[in-house]
């Protein structure tokens, strides 16, 4: 089985193609597990890489889409959303909630319905690159389409 045939990658590919026939998953020869690796593989700015970060927020999970050159701010997340308790989700929770392993968490195609927030710093790029279900898979998308496909709410959530 090739990487592109793996179920998580197929799930992402179907969703993005249903959204826009011009979108597709690309398989990289090198890893895109981290934002730095992805930007190096793609030859783009680190900030154009979308990090999909799952947090446990009070008694549920929330996905935050953050630019590769930024850090999610727990202080801002608590303040802007009224959460009392915010922590990174465990690798097991990430897999169970999203259906993806860390390094391949896509902003779309999660196994469970979760709220998604997009950091406003991503607006500065014409094109963004997001994980597509595997550490070597990405898809390219513009900011307005990222908002539409994820139904994400744009907020200031980074340091």
- pLDDT above 90 coverage of the chain, percent: 95
- pLDDT above 70 coverage of the chain, percent: 100
Q: Which domain range does residue 147 map to?
A: 3-155
pLDDT tens string 35-69: 999 999 999 999 999 999 999 999 999 999 999 99
| Number of domains within the chain | 1
Q: Give 79's pLDDT tier (boundaries 50, 70, 90).
A: very high
pLDDT at 32 over 90: no
pTM of the model: 0.95
Residue 74's domain is classified under what CATH number?
A: 3.90.960.10
Average pLDDT over residues 66-83: 95
pLDDT at 30 over 90: no
CA distance 1 to 71: 35
């Amino acid at each position: 089985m090739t990487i592109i045939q793996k179920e998580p990658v197929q799930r992402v590919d179907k969703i993005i193609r249903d959204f826009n026939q011009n979108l597709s998953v690309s398989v990289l020869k090198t890893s895109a597990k981290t934002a730095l690796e992805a930007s190096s593989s793609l030859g783009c700015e680190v900030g154009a890489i979308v990090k999909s970060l799952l947090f446990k927020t009070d008694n549920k999970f929330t996905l935050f889409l953050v630019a590769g050159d930024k850090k999610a701010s727990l202080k801002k997340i608590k303040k802007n959303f009224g959460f009392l308790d915010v922590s990174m989700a465990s690798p097991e929770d990430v897999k169970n909630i999203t259906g993806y392993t860390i390094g391949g968490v896509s902003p779309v195609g999660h196994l469970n319905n979760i709220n998604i927030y997009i950091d406003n710093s991503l607006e500065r790029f014409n094109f963004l690159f997001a994980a597509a279900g595997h550490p070597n898979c990405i898809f390219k998308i513009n900011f307005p389409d990222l908002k539409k496909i994820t139904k994400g709410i744009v907020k200031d959530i980074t340091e």
